[in-house]
Amino acid sequence: MVNNSTYNNDWYKKEIGAGKLKQFLWYFTNVVFFMNPLNPISSIKCFLLKCFGAKLGKGVVIKQSVNIKYPWKLEVGNYTWIGEQVWIDNLAHINIGNSVCLSQGAMLLTGNHDYTKTTFDLVVKPIKLEDGVWIGAQAMVCPGITCYTHAVLVAKSVATRSLDAYTIYQGNPAVAVRKRIIEEKF
């Protein structure tokens, strides 16, 4: 049986990476400019993310209703698309490469709990999405996962293991279903 009275929440005090004021300001910025479905202006969101310490490349598109936990733990390459209702729950660092697509409702989760301990300890691990990765609508990438170049996680699938390059994954847990072949357009 889990004893929540012994749960150790000290992680938040030492690992967030920002002071209380910065966290407070980000909370309201996130609610007003990112989670708000009435703000379609991507350039404002990119500017604000950079102000809070995110590293963003050029041509990044951020749609409405996106929730980002800690921008100072986020790095996004060039020409990446972050779709509506994407949740970036980055308790640990998330590195997103160039030309990545996070489709509507996708979730990147860097935290989980150790269910084998009565203290239910929080465990955080970074996520890396290499160039050309596509995370489908309502798909989930779990803590510690690397999606190698041009991997695809199809809609509503869950990546519990790293995804090989140029491979399409489907299911819960996601398994490889076929190779991704990209045709050159002339």
DSSP string over 44-84: HHHHHHHHTT-EE-TT-EE-SS-EES-GGGEEE-TT-EE-T
Bridge partner list, 102: 82, 135
Whole-angstrom CA distances from 47 to 8, 29, 87, 147, 162 are 35, 12, 19, 27, 31
Cα gap 132→151, rounded to integer Å: 7
Mean pLDDT by 10 residues, the chain (186 residues): 60 77 96 94 97 98 98 98 98 98 98 87 94 98 98 98 98 98 86
Q: What is the pLDDT of residue 175?
A: 98
Q: What is the pLDDT of residue 13?
A: 60
The count of C-alpha atoms lying within 13 angstroms of the C-alpha of 42, restricted to the half-sphere facing its C-beta, is 13
Q: What is the pLDDT of residue 118?
A: 84
Each residue of 92-119: pLDDT tens digit?
999 999 999 999 999 999 999 888 988 8
Q: What is the pLDDT of residue 22?
A: 95
Element (H, E) at 127: strand 127-129
In terms of Cα–Cα distance, which of 149, 182, 154, 150 is closest to 170? Answer: 154
Each residue of 143-157: pLDDT tens digit?
999 999 999 999 999
